[in-house]
Amino acid sequence: MGSALSMVFMPSSKSIFAQFVSPRSLKKFLILIIATLLLSFFSWSLLPTISTIAAPPKVFEQAWKTINDNFFDPNFNGVNWKAMREKYATQAAVAQSPEELSGVINQMLAELNTSHTRFYTPEETAYYQLLGIFQPRSRELQKLPKSIFPRGKLEYSGIGIFTQNTTGKTFVSGVMEGSPGAQAGLQTGDELISADGRPFHPVDSFKDKASQPVKLVIQKTADPKTQKELTVTPKLLDPLTMFLDVQKASTQVLQQGGKKIGYVHLWSYAGDQYQEQLEEDLIYGKLRDADGLLLDLRGGWGGAPLTALNIYTARGPSLTSIPRSRDRYTIRAHWNKPVVMLVNEGSRSAKEILAYGFQQYKIGTVVGAKTPGAVVAGRAFLMEDGNLLYCAVSDVYLDGNQRLEGKGVTPDIEVPFTVEYAQGADPQKDRAIAVLLQQIQQR
């Protein structure tokens, strides 16, 4: 009985297959089982790879969308903007540092081939300066990120210089008048090697070191033997006021060939206060008795008002005041003496419009190097993580159909100038002074 039960209830595998499965069916069944196992194995091996593909950082998406919603050209200058997101999203997702991520975003923005379109981080002095330009005119920029501005005030510790990177080296491209850098003896063309024994960085080298001496190692020529040490004391710079302070510090009268050459450097023109200060100096202040004016618009930022040229083109009577002392005081509300403008590849945006106007309306001679052709209107957007996106929001034409974007202005007199190891020499300024002196003498 037990044996019968065993035969009935516990049949062997062999007996079942022998009864119900043919050899050919058995072969197909085994192949199916093996294929299923292999597919499961490969699917499982791919799963970790799929799961580790990260989404691009939120700031990447925000930057892309900000351009998508605000860029002035709905055709994105002929670029498939959606495709650009796909192209750079993977690179952004694997970026190992904020600097690397910033680089990826700027590569994406560069595809638009348009000025006033860039991503800035607190590791750049331009970040703070751009905030200083736009904060007074933007509600969105009034509330600053506490992680970057713990005191709630727009400021950064620095020495008042502009730098440029060439073949992996950092050079001084401009020294703002009256700044800690100028007081320490830094000159245009100096290579910046280190600060307090660490590789030089425009922001990090002076962070949290306001009013503390910092030892800089600079190099004056291509020969390493010309390295020397300077001590500079950084200070807290206020981007809302620093450029006006520098303009005032630059304003002076130079004695040349028995004539008085008025000189002023406008590192920024982005605000009415710069033109107001210039006109005050020309009409009532330091420059009123100058025989001619050298207007230096090299470097820095643009933003000049359209009325900036009126003082050179206006006509009207002078006013002479004679008090009881019988001294005579004459005021002219316009400038009718020779004026020469200095520009270079750093004279951007509205400064280029002024150079165009100088030539178009024969106001004066333009000297220097060709401007960059960066003439559209931009707006600054604060990202959620505190970074800053500069976006071109409007195209610009002059006199109806003249577009300077991508074209620039070529000076009447071009003067080549290489920044690297210039040792403070300024052939452009020297030539402009010579031209102005000649025009004064010919009056």
Q: For 251-306, how does the pLDDT look when each residue is reduced to its tens digit (9 = 90+)?
A: 999 999 999 999 999 999 999 999 999 999 999 999 999 999 999 999 999 999 98
Contacts of 155 (CB under 8 A, 6+ apart): 128, 149, 236, 237, 238, 239
Given 1.20.120.1460, 2.40.50.180, 1.20.1560.10, 2.30.42.10, which CATH number is that of 156-237? 2.30.42.10
Angle between helices 242-250 and 125-134 (to 10 degrees): 100
The share of the chain scoring above pLDDT 70, in percent, equals 88
How many residues belong to the chain?
Answer: 443
pLDDT tens, residue by residue, 350-379: 999 999 999 999 999 999 999 999 999 999
Specify the pairing of strand 292-296 against strand 339-343. Answer: parallel
The average pLDDT across 91-99 equals: 96
Average pLDDT over the chain reads 90
- CA–CA distance, 367 with 340 (Å, rounded to integer): 7
Question: Which residues in 330-351 are b (16+ Cβ under 10 Å) and which e?
Answer: eebebbebbbbbbbbbbbbbbb
The average pLDDT across 64-80 equals: 98
pLDDT tens, residue by residue, 107-144: 999 999 999 999 999 999 999 999 999 999 999 999 99
The average pLDDT across 313-331 equals: 87
The share of the chain scoring above pLDDT 90, in percent, equals 83
Domain boundaries, the chain: 156-237, 242-373+408-441
Question: Are 124 and 203 in contact, with CB atoms under 8 Å apart?
Answer: yes
The structure's pTM equals 0.86
Q: Which of 11-15, 46-50, 428-432 has the highest mean pLDDT?
A: 428-432
Torsion of CA 365, 369, 372, 376, to 10 degrees: -10
Question: Are 304 and 269 in contact, with CB atoms under 8 Å apart?
Answer: yes
- CA–CA distance, 360 with 263 (Å, rounded to integer): 23
| 242-373+408-441: CATH number | 3.90.226.10
3-state secondary structure of 12: coil
φ, ψ of residue 371 to 5 degrees: the values are -75, 160
Q: Which band of pLDDT confidence, cut at 50, 70 and 90, is reported for residue 66?
A: very high
The average pLDDT across 414-426 equals: 97
- CA–CA distance, 33 with 399 (Å, rounded to integer): 79
Residues β-bridged to residue 157: 236
